Amino acid sequence: METNQHMAGPFDLTAPVTKMLAIGSWTEKGRDKAARFPLMVEEVPATVKLYLTGAIEQWYVKPDISGVVFIMNVTSADAAHQLLEKLPLGIAGMMAFDFIELGPITPLRFLLPLDK
The pLDDT of 79-98, averaged and rounded, is 98
pTM for this structure? Answer: 0.82
- Kind and range of the H or E run holding 95: strand 95-102
Q: Which of 2-16, 58-72, 76-90 has the lowest mean pLDDT?
A: 2-16
Residue 4, pLDDT > 80, answer no
Which domains, and CATH codes, for the chain? Answer: 19-103 (3.30.70.1060)
| Element of type H or E holding 25 | strand 19-26
| CB-based contact 111:3 (threshold 8 Å) | no
Rounded Cα distance between 112 and 107, Å, is 10
Give the residue-averaged pLDDT of 58-87. Answer: 97
Edge to edge, the sheet with strand 95-102 lists 56-61, 68-72, 19-26, 95-102
